[in-house]
Structure 1
Amino acid sequence: MSKIDELRLGFETAYIDGSVVSSNIYRPQFVSNNHKEGKKVLSSIEDELLVCDGFQISVAFITMNGITPLLQTLKELEKRNIKGEILTTNYLNFSEPKALKKLNELSNITLKMYDVEVANEGFHTKGYIFRKEEIYHIIIGSSNITSAALTDNREWNTKLVSTVHGETAKEIVTEFNELWNSNYALTFDEFYENYNERYKIIKHQREVAKQEEITSIEKYKLQPNSMQIGFIINLKKILEAGEDRALLISATGTGKTYASAFAMRELGFKRVLFLVNRGQLARQTKKSYEKVFAESVSMGLVGAGYHEYDADYIFATVQTLNRDEHLLQYEKDAFDCIVLDEYAIIGLSQEAA
Structure 2
Amino acid sequence: MTKVTLITEYLGEELIPKIEKADSVCVLTSFVMKSGVQLLSEALWKAVERGAEVKVCTGDYLYITQPDALKMLYEIHEKMEIRLFRSGGKSFHPKAYLLKEKNANTLFVGSSNLSGSAFTTGIEWNISISENHEVYEQALNEFSKLFQHEQTIPINKESIHTYEKEYREYHQRNPNIIHTWTSAEEIDLMLPVRKKNSEFVVENKEHYGTIEPRFAQVEALNQLEQTIEEGYNKAMVVMATGLGKTYLAAFFARKFKRVLFIAHREEILHQAQASFNKVIPDKTSGIYNGFLKEDGDFIFASVFTLSMKQHLQHFKRDEFDLIVIDEFHHAASQSYQKMIDYFQPEFLLGITATPDRNDQKDVYAICDGNIAYRIDFIEAVQRGWLAPFHYYGVYDDTDYSQIRWLGSKYDQEQLLQAQLKEEMAQKILLAWEEHKQTRSLIFCSSIRQANFLSQFFNRSGYQTVSLHSKQQDIGRKEAINQLEEKKLDAIFTVDLFNEGIDIPSVDTILFARPTESLTVFTQQIGRGLRLHSSKSHCVIIDLIGNYRNADIKLSLFQVELKKTKNRKIAPVIPESCEFNLDIQSINLLEELRKKRQPRKEKLKNAYMQLKEELGRRPTYQELFLNGTIEVIQYYKEFKSYFAFLHWAEELTEKEIELYIRYENWLKEIEKTGMQKSYKMIVLLGMLKKGKHNWYRSTTPEEIAPFFHHYLMEKEYRKRIDFSDKSSRTLWKYEEKKVANLIAKMPMSKWSGSSQGMISFEKNIFKLNFDVLNEDEDILFHWTREVCEKRLMEYFARKGE
TM-score normalised per structure 2: 0.22
Higher relative contact order (CA 8 A, sep 6+): 1
